[in-house]
Amino acid sequence: MLRKVTLAGLAVDPASNTPIILLKSEEREQTIPIWIGLLEATSIASALKNIKFDRPMTHDLFKSFLELQKVTVSKVEICDLKDNTYFALIYFVSMDKTFSMDARPSDAIAIALRFDAPIFVDDKVIEGTKMTGDVGEVLDTSEEGKKWAEYLERLSPDDFGKV
């Protein structure tokens, strides 16, 4: 069964200095952490803060392309967890058909945010995830974690320059 989730926030793994996206189940008090790359974290943070750039970032370019083709995103699904790797599907709707594509969860979430599409997580993924309860509220208070939080908080279009 699929569970609707909300984006609870971005954090940093203090052991690896890797960004983590935190998804929180709306029905259950469970948090699903997904380790992502810095560029994807930046893309997600810019979408959350509604930052507009002079030149399109990759996920914004993809959104523009889809809109030109009259395709929209209906939902995103984090559908599987194998060997500590999460898998996602993006569901698309065009004028004449619907289809889905495999994607990394970080890219799927970045796209979902741009289309205001709901995000779902399969029960088997939730059950395969060890973090539950209030873990989503925990912030990385290490010095490195504080630096990441400040970095993501201060993101602006000027940080990316013009290409």
Enter the tokens of residue 61: 């370019």
Q: What residues of the chain score a pLDDT lower than 70?
A: 130-163
81 CA to centre of own chain:
16
In three-state secondary structure terms, 101 is strand
| pLDDT tens readout for residues 124-152 | 998 888 643 433 334 555 665 666 666 66
How confident is the model at residue 60, as a pLDDT?
Answer: 93
pTM, two decimals, is 0.78
Q: Hey, what are 120's tokens?
A: 């779902």
The answer to whether residues 139 and 153 touch, using CB atoms and an 8 Å cutoff, is no
Kindly report, residue by residue over 11-20, the tens digit of the pLDDT. 888 888 899 9
Q: Using an 8 Å Cβ cutoff, are 56 and 64 in contact?
A: yes
Q: How crowded is the C-beta side of 116, counted as CA atoms within 13 Å?
A: 1
The C-alpha R_g of the chain, in whole angstroms, comes to 16
Q: At what angle do helices 105-115 and 58-68 cross, to 10 degrees?
A: 60
The confidence score (pLDDT) of residue 129 equals 80
Residues 42 and 73: their CA atoms lie apart, in Å, by: 21
Asked whether 77 and 89 are in contact (CB, 8 A), the reply is yes
Amino acid 13: pLDDT = 87
Q: Which fold has domain 2-160?
A: Bifunctional nuclease domain (3.10.690)
